[in-house]
Structure 1
Amino acid sequence: MRQIESLIGSRLPSIVPDAIDAALGALQWARVPPGIEDDDAMAKLLGLCSLPPDTELVVVTDASFKAGSGAFAMSASRFEEFQAWYSDRFLERVFSGGDVIIGAPVDRRLWVVHHEGVYATAQLSAP
């Protein structure tokens, strides 16, 4: 989860949407539209499906905070496979209504999905 802090450029009190919003100076939040009810639809809404396949992603979900876990890292081309694995492993979808933070460190991009049904994306400047 230090990858997310490194991407943001500051230490956070916790890796949650509100702390990220405060650190970045007010993200532009949008409401998740009705009908977005599965991981594929949410990934498409966020634009994750259109990333170059070799884009490195760091994904933080509620499961990241369980003992023996942490952030999940994969290439964008494996995100769909990750969704299936995650569902089997944790018995819930990646975007199941909890907070989800996804960073692309090399591209300096960040996607934040808040448990209150809103999301934001940010293109971060170089440190």
Structure 2
Amino acid sequence: MNTDSLRQLVHDFYADVIAHELLGPVFQKELGSRWSAHLDRMVDFWSTVMLGTRTFRGNLVQRHMQLQDVSPAHFNAWIQLWTHHTHERFDSATTYKLRRVAHDIGRQLFTGYFEAQAAISNAR
């Protein structure tokens, strides 16, 4: 695994995200014409996490808390696509690491997102 292979993974993965009937509309609404910048940030993110490049700066959880119309099904679909793309591209040890990181991040985002939504609902 290197930056080039992660870049290809991210680009191929998000091509499927854009085309996905559930995920595509959420990402299109949020990103609009800023897909290129998002892909660059995601390459930086995965390079930082997997290769230690330290090229990513930002608060992943805070950014995702701003999304609207997200359900648990969105998280499941994202993980399924990620699993497909990692399995297709890398050896089993690398695939395991990429999937483990994605599941850990997904769990953090899921918990943060739905706890925030519950707090907003309870405050009303």
Q: TM-score, normalised by structure 1?
A: 0.29
* Higher share in helix: 2
Q: Who wins on radius of gyration, i.e. which is larger? A: 2
